[in-house]
Chain A
């Protein structure tokens, strides 16, 4: 029974990794750029959520669980806008400069965003307002227990991931996005507005990342400006593990990383968690260098 509880714990943290990993994978899929600023946009989602919830809690209406919805929409809009701005300012001018300059530019943006958060919100831990109705839990037979917040958080994560999957595979614009990721030049020749597609990627990826920041901060209740670094790195690894550029891969990678980490700290020790998780990663990458669901890249002549 402890095993089931641990799997549940693993899926919870894994769905956070997956949600953040989506942003890395989408940008990489379209631009072949590792957007290191994504972790810090995610962290900004937590701060934007703090501001939104604090404002909402101070309003003339009854505070409650419903506030998460408008806060989530606000955070999505703010961070999506920030994502598009980051692309416009730091990546787009470097589009034809090869692969290294945009990567370094991304690292630069990450540091700027992190310092900005520290200077504006302070270096100490910030806590979310307690929201009534989310503190309870459900006891299942066999001593298993799911917290109300855990259900909410995992449900939101899976809903968002499903919506994104549908969007990419079932809509015209999603098809355009996939076309750009396969071959930008051919896509342009077929009449696809590539820059608009890229802007859309920078709208959705960071937007979802921002919502993930809100959810993570809601779940743990407190965070500081280093949140993007710790979670971002794990999510990036999850994206690689699943096969970077591949949306179901990011979800699978995130969940797998979460479960392996959880089992390692639950059955061995938290001190050995990273050793076991990263050793697993290395083994998987040796067996499948392009990740679990990554396509085999044929050598170009």
Chain B
């Protein structure tokens, strides 16, 4: 027993010194500004992770080609969290150890949550491009921000859209028990109950399932006017495909984790047709010079323009970090965070004007849209959220 403990201790200390050696080797660019990125490069959400990486690499290379930030080169540290909370905590620790001053990520709220604890502890600026669960900013972490918009506003818009635009009287809500999906489902339910609308069905699927025929058969028997699915795109594709195969006339409305073309590929355009997705504007509908410029550069480098909103949001996060460093002349996370909370106002962003961030780190305003999926599987703007960005407060 003693021997094995001693062996274990020796192995551990050996590993530790090896790690120190390794991190020492990375010191070639000692004055570099290190920016971390974590996202799902593998797994169900790999499409979005790849988009994150492409966007951030592009902007970092452009910054370096223009002489760096504050005359210092940008060095990217990229880690794969696979969308998994356990792996997310591991890679977050790696980014902290690697000396990042700011981290962009993660994609899904379930992975962002444990990472935000670690970055908060380590005093690193943390901006998520895409994790919209309300509770993430309820913890009072002073260095945590998001460039996306929060789910309470999305849930309200979804509720208003289904009742007022689609004229739905009986509504169902389906989530997948993830931090994000459950949060969004609850927000929508609360809003619908305030409007005195009948939420006749409320349940959850398992995200690892492939066969949804049983739950779809039950939903079909309820004669609902619309079903709001708050989970992720792979499952939404399967849900639309299988509900058509069962001949169920369900009108689906999905949240902003379903705004990418992979979902159409999984469902088949025929099966996706006529359903709706609520989301921040898609890249093609961002009519801002910063967005056009980024899309053109992205298309030139990767062969096609980005199709997912979250790719642009990742670029937006980099843009915000870069702007904060340039405006403050500092790379101290505390100084940067303070600047974002108090001073930064009306920045021209890729996804529209960034009015600023509130004391919790949430981006002010809201810009959700409802898209209808047409026969070719394209997203067509159907309805805009009343009082977009310009009129926003709170």
Contact = CB atoms under 8 A, between A and B. Distances in A.
Partners in one complex: yes
Contacts of B265: 127, 222
From B42, B210, B234, residue with most partner A Cβ within 10 Å: B210
A222 to B, nearest CB: 5
A269 interface: yes
Given A2-B218, A266-B218, A271 B177 contact: yes
Given A123-B46, A221-B266, A266 B177 contact: no
B246 A125 contact: no
B262 interface: yes
Interface stretch (B124-132, B156-164, B200-208): B200-208
B374 interface: no
Interface in B357-373: none
A273 interface: yes
Interface in B196-249: 203-206, 208-215, 217-218, 221, 234, 237-238, 241, 245-247
A5 B237 CA distance: 22
Contact of B210 (A149, A230, A273): A230
Interface in B256-315: 262, 265-266, 268, 270
A6 B266 contact: no
A230 B208 contact: yes
A31 B343 CA distance: 72
Given A9-B213, A12-B213, A147-B246, A221 B241 contact: yes
B262 A2 contact: no
B308 to A, nearest CB: 13
A270 B206 contact: yes
Contacts of A274: 206
B117 interface: no
Contacts of A125: 44, 234, 262, 266
A220 interface: yes
A271 B206 contact: yes
B43 interface: yes
B245 A150 contact: yes
Interface in A233-268: 261-267
A189 B275 CA distance: 67
Nearest to A9: B213
Contacts of A127: 265-266
Interface string B44-66: 10110000000000000000000
A274 B209 CA distance: 11
Contact of B238 (A118, A135, A220): A220
Contacts of B266: 125, 127, 221-222
Interface in B162-211: 177, 203-206, 208-211
Given A9-B213, A262-B213, A271 B218 contact: no
A139 interface: yes
A2 B44 CA distance: 32
Contacts of B41: 123
B270 A220 contact: no
A157 to B, nearest CB: 14
Nearest to B42: A123
B246 A145 contact: yes
A222 B234 contact: yes
B218 A267 contact: yes
Contact of B245 (A13, A118, A149, A265): A149
B237 A222 contact: yes
B370 to A, nearest CB: 25
Contact of A224 (B44, B177, B218, B221): B44
B217 A266 contact: yes
A106 B221 CA distance: 45
B214 A270 contact: yes
A137 interface: yes
A273 B208 CA distance: 12
A54 interface: no
Contacts of A13: 211, 213
B209 A270 contact: yes
A175 interface: no
A220 B210 CA distance: 7
Nearest to B80: A123
Contacts of A123: 41-43, 46
A65 interface: no
B234 A137 contact: no
Contacts of B268: 130, 135, 221
B50 to A, nearest CB: 8
A130 B265 CA distance: 10
Contacts of A122: 46
A220 B217 contact: no
A171 interface: no
Contacts of A9: 211, 213-214, 217
A271 B202 CA distance: 12
B238 A222 contact: yes
B210 A270 contact: no
A220 B211 CA distance: 8
A271 B241 contact: no
A270 B245 contact: no
Nearest to A13: B211
A230 B268 CA distance: 24
A223 B208 CA distance: 11
A124 interface: yes
Interface of B: 41-44, 46-47, 177, 203-206, 208-215, 217-218, 221, 234, 237-238, 241, 245-247, 262, 265-266, 268, 270
Given A13-B213, A135-B268, A139-B247, 6 more contacts: A2-B217, A9-B214, A118-B42, A149-B245, A269-B204, A270-B206
- Nearest 8 A/B pairs, CB to CB: A266-B214, A123-B42, A9-B213, A265-B214, A124-B46, A145-B247, A262-B214, A147-B245
